[in-house]
Structure 1
């Protein structure tokens, strides 16, 4: 069922670059304070962030299953979508955001999940994700954004969940359930995954999970069967049934 649902989605950003003023006005009232404070970063920071984004085109830099784009409002904010393919969170569709500090790369970006997800490293209050288990400390000459993206992906796999310490957890209930009652943790992770695939979570810009987090520049669009077939034909993509048969 999850596969059929995924086939009706378009995981690409729908950015109206032809009318940036309209795009800015639609978001300016909902942007978080952290974003507005970074509208005019130092030139060196802008250059560093630009080079980091350009490096994602290199093989292996952007993890498989992730799509990343800078916000139309600020280069210092990147919006991303993560399609989870295995583990407790299989089939989750997770929107998250990276916000760069004015002194990047001296300090790491802040990672915040906009999709509600039950995970030990993710705060249930504001969606903040803890980078500390992988970057302790953050080394600006060694660590890069692609390292951050790979850690985000790895954190949803069993080997990383096994090694997380309670002191690093923003959601201690999730940590305790994972170690004490794994079946309950697995059930809540599966429930989170199913909710992340729901029409309201994917298509509703005013979904409760987005409260106070601002708009995400990657908007999903539900396609009718004939629209999906036309798009697949244009891109040279086979239907799910044809792929399994071949």
Structure 2
């Protein structure tokens, strides 16, 4: 078992030194709005980076669809021109999805969110669109010209069993102990590969600033469940 941040983000104060007070306030309001009902989608956890509010670290637990069981880390990067220009959502490792560019790992929203509208579109809309895009119905609706990864799009539509097999392998890896708890369960080095896998160097770059998981023993797990039951009874 592992623990994760609470789904409703805690309010933050716009006290940041690396950006203007006006932009800091915009971002604080945006983040605090995720506390509203259905503001932050279930299964998505997000928190601002300690060093800069222009970067938010997130984790996406996929519960349904062909990617069910995946635990995907991502980073939300805000431009200094926000909210005139929208944030960029970049996964921290390879994600086998038609809307994720295989080189940059950037997820590209489709539909109305493909063109950002200041103060009309918000982070909440982006996160809900992200979650929806991993479901079967949304996958079926992606047109070839909308796909950032044409190879994955082709596999999904023309070699579906191969797509499912590859996706299952990646889902299992994303939820493995060596991925979630690399300090406690380091993956054995591969003699056939001297270059770091894509995403590994990016994760190391984030370091301690990224959301980290903690493995629970049986007593901690039981205590956590009791606390959850008590909170639901209130």
CA contact (8 A) 1:116 1:196 kept: no
Higher relative contact order, chain-length normalized (CA < 8 Å, sep 6+): 1
Q: Which residue pairs with 1:227 in the alignment? A: 220
Secondary structure in structure 1 of the residue aligned to 2:152: helix
CA shift for structure 1 position 153: 0.3
Aligned residues of 2:92 and 2:202 also touching (Cα < 8 A)? no
- 2:194 alignment counterpart: none
The verdict on how the C-alpha distance between 1:234 and 1:132 changes in structure 2, with shifts beyond 3 A counting, is closer
CA distance in 2, matches of 1:223, 1:147: 33
- Distance, in Å, in 2 between the alignment partners of 1:109 and 1:212 is 18
What is the CA distance between 1:50 and its match in structure 2? 0.8
Q: Please name the residue that 1:99 is paired with.
A: 77
Question: Deviation of residue 134 (structure 1)?
Answer: 4.2
- The 5 Å alignment of 1:165-204 reads 165-204=143-182
What SS does the corresponding residue of 2:58 show, helix, strand or coil?
A: strand
Please state whether the residue corresponding to 2:2 is helix, strand or coil. Answer: coil
Q: Which runs of 5+ in 2 are unaligned?
A: 7-15, 188-196
TM-score (structure 1 length as normaliser): 0.76
CA-atom RMSD, angstroms?
A: 2.2
Shift of the 136–123 alpha-carbon distance from structure 1 to 2, 3 Å rule, reads closer
Please point out which of 128, 136, 152 is paired with 1:158.
136
Structure 1 Cα separation of the partners of residues 63 and 112 of structure 2 = 21
Contact conserved, 1:133 with 1:168, CA < 8 A, in 2? Answer: no
1:112 touches 1:129 (CA, 8 Å); kept in 2? yes
Whether the 8 Å CA contact 1:122–1:130 is kept in 2: the answer is yes
Is 2:71 the partner of 1:81?
A: no
| Match in the other structure for 1:212 | 202
Count of residues in Structure 1 that have an aligned counterpart in Structure 2: 206
**Partner SS, residue 79 of structure 2:** coil
The residue correspondences of 1:42-57 to structure 2 (distance < 5 A) are: 42-57=20-35
Contact kept in structure 1, 2:181 and 2:213, CA below 8 Å: yes
Q: Secondary structure at the match of 1:135?
A: helix
Other structure's SS at 1:44 match = helix
Q: Which residue of 1 aligns with 2:11?
A: none
The 5 Å alignment of 1:127-166 reads 127-166=105-144
Cα distance in 2 for residues equivalent to 1:165 and 1:118: 16
Unaligned runs of 5+ residues in structure 1 are: 1-7, 14-37, 238-246
